[in-house]
């Protein structure tokens, strides 16, 4: 699905205006996450940053121990409204 086209169709606005709106929302979410803030969209869900510590692992082919670097990623937890809508 093309999100911009879907927003344009639902709001009956030109694709260029819909693109500006979608880009603004996504940029705001990205900025908040970069600042370490949690983003809540009531009824839809919550975006939050998660950190995973560095650890040791094993290469499954060779069995050699390897270092796994620390990572930062985004977690999304669906809200009640979204869960109910999906059944």
Q: What is the pLDDT of residues 29-76, one digit of tens each?
A: 999 999 999 999 999 999 999 999 999 999 999 999 999 999 999 999
Contact 40, 77 (CB under 8 A): no
Give the chain as a DSSP string: --HHHHHHHHHT--HHHHHHHHHHHHHHHHHHHHTT--EEETTTEEEEEEEE--EEEE-TTT--EEEE--EEEEEEEE-HHHHHHH-
Count up the domains in the chain and report the number.
2
Q: Which domain holds residue 16?
A: 1-37
Quote the pTM value: 0.76
User: Domain containing 60 — which CATH number?
Assistant: 4.10.520.10
Distance CA 36, CA 49 (A): 7
Same domain flag for 26 and 67: no
Same domain flag for 20 and 52: no
Asked if residue 87 has pLDDT above 90, the reply is no
């Amino acid at each position: 699905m093309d999100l911009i086209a879907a927003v344009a169709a639902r709001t009956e606005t030109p694709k260029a205006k819909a693109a500006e709106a979608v880009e603004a929302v996504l940029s705001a979410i990205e900025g908040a996450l970069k600042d370490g803030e949690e983003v809540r969209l009531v009824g839809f869900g919550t975006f939050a940053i998660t950190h995973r510590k560095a650890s040791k692992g094993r290469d499954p082919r060779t069995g050699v121990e390897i270092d796994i670097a620390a990572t930062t990623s985004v977690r999304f937890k669906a809200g009640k409204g979204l869960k109910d809508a999906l059944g």
